[in-house]
């Protein structure tokens, strides 16, 4: 399994000279099988999704997009995803459902006039929109387990993704302080890599609790509790400059156990 980090910010993009090395795009990770640079799965569709069009060029996207939840920083790349918005593309999009609403209708609440010129069905190519329950399913040859996590402002999933002997858990927005249930612990247990919300520092903890996010110390404690082999600090605050993230990368390395995500980072597992 190969992971390519295309966007590592939380909340809102962070352009500008202070953010060039870690990157300013919001959450998006491409997941592909070994030695294959064309991802079959994309985790979240923040503004980082735009980078995937260049990565795939000249090809169209053909695969599945798993959304953790529907906050702006996880969906705003969808209408600007050139490799997905063309006649020869295929995209099967999965998102956490809300009672009484289809996946398409949920997405259309942010993507339709007057908020945006087109609705989901205005995207070219073959798109499907599905709101799965947190139960295991198989997609593109990967085993996927969505699980509910505490966050604020809408239902939020984490995902465990398994391919052969390689496994990851993707939990970009999570407030462990609000409680972690047994199913979530089990879904994260023993993964090769836990990619986790690390938006706040310990002295910012009141804001982390207010906004439904994690501190880096909480992410490390969680990774140790579930016996993850490595932890990727992800969903960086849009205020966190390259200099500040360098300091975090050094302070929290724990002998290589913890990696600080940056745009363009790749990990090969399994
Ligand atoms: Zn977010
Ligand atoms: Zn969120």
For position 37, what pLDDT does the model report? 72
The C-alpha atoms of residue 215 and residue 22 are separated, in whole angstroms, by: 19
Owning domain of residue 92: 2-268
Contacts of 88 (CB under 8 A, 6+ apart): 60, 125
Ligand nearest to the CA of 73: 1
Compute, in angstroms, the gap from residue 149 CA to the centroid of ligand 1: 13
Stretch 84-88: mean pLDDT, rounded? 98
For position 177, what pLDDT does the model report? 95
Ligand nearest to the CA of 212: 2
Compute, in angstroms, the gap from residue 35 CA to the centroid of ligand 1: 29
Four-residue CA torsion sign, 38, 163, 221, 71: positive
Compute, in angstroms, the gap from residue 71 CA to the centroid of ligand 1: 6
Stretch 177-182: mean pLDDT, rounded? 96
For position 34, what pLDDT does the model report? 73
Compute, in angstroms, the gap from residue 209 CA to the centroid of ligand 1: 14
Stretch 64-92: mean pLDDT, rounded? 98
| More confident: 35 or 225 | 225
Compute the CA torsion angle 81, 87, 91, 97 (nearest 10 deg): 80
Asked if residue 13 has pLDDT above 90, the reply is: yes
For position 65, what pLDDT does the model report? 98
Stretch 21-37: mean pLDDT, rounded? 91
For position 270, what pLDDT does the model report? 86
CA 222 → CA 30, 104, 150, 159, 160, distances in Å?
24, 34, 14, 15, 15
Four-residue CA torsion sign, 129, 267, 237, 162: positive
pTM of the model: 0.97
Compute, in angstroms, the gap from residue 154 CA to the centroid of ligand 2: 8
Into how many domains does the chain fold?
1
Stretch 62-90: mean pLDDT, rounded? 98
Can you point out the beta strands (E) in 109-171?
Answer: 126-130, 137-139, 142-148, 157-163, 166-171
Compute, in angstroms, the gap from residue 169 CA to the centroid of ligand 2: 17
* DSSP label of 61: P
Ligand nearest to the CA of 152: 2
- Residue 67 sits in a domain whose CATH number is 3.60.15.10
Compute, in angstroms, the gap from residue 199 CA to the centroid of ligand 1: 9
Compute, in angstroms, the gap from residue 31 CA to the centroid of ligand 1: 19
pLDDT, the chain, mean: 96
The C-alpha atoms of residue 184 and residue 49 are separated, in whole angstroms, by: 26
For position 8, what pLDDT does the model report? 98
Compute, in angstroms, the gap from residue 173 CA to the centroid of ligand 2: 5
């Amino acid at each position: 399994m190969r992971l390519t980090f295309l966007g590592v910010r939380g909340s809102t993009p962070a352009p500008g000279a202070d953010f060039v090395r870690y990157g300013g795009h919001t959450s998006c990770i491409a997941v592909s099988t070994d030695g294959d640079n064309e991802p079959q799965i994309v985790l979240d569709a923040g503004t980082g999704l735009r980078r995937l069009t260049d990565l795939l060029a000249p090809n169209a996207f053909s695969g599945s997009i798993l959304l953790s939840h529907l906050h702006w920083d996880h969906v705003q790349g969808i209408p600007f995803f050139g490799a997905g918005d063309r006649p020869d593309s295929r995209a099967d999009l999965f998102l956490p459902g809300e009672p009484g609403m289809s996946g398409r209708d949920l997405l259309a609440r942010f993507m339709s006039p007057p908020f945006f010129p087109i609705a989901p069905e205005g995207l070219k190519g073959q798109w499907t929109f599905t709101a799965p329950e947190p139960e295991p399913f198989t997609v593109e040859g990967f085993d996927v387990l969505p699980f509910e996590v505490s966050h604020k402002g809408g239902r939020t999933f984490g995902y465990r993704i398994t391919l052969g002997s390689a496994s990851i858990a993707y939990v970009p927005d999570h407030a462990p302080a609000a409680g972690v249930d047994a199913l979530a612990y089990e879904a994260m247990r023993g993964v090769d890599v836990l990619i986790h919300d690390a938006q706040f520092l310990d002295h910012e903890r009141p804001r982390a609790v207010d906004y439904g996010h994690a501190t880096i110390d909480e992410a490390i404690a969680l990774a140790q509790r579930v016996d993850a082999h490595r932890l990727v600090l992800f969903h960086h605050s849009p205020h966190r400059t390259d200099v500040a993230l360098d300091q975090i990368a050094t302070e929290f390395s724990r002998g290589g156990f913890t990696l600080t995500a940056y745009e363009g980072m790749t990990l090969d597992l399994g």
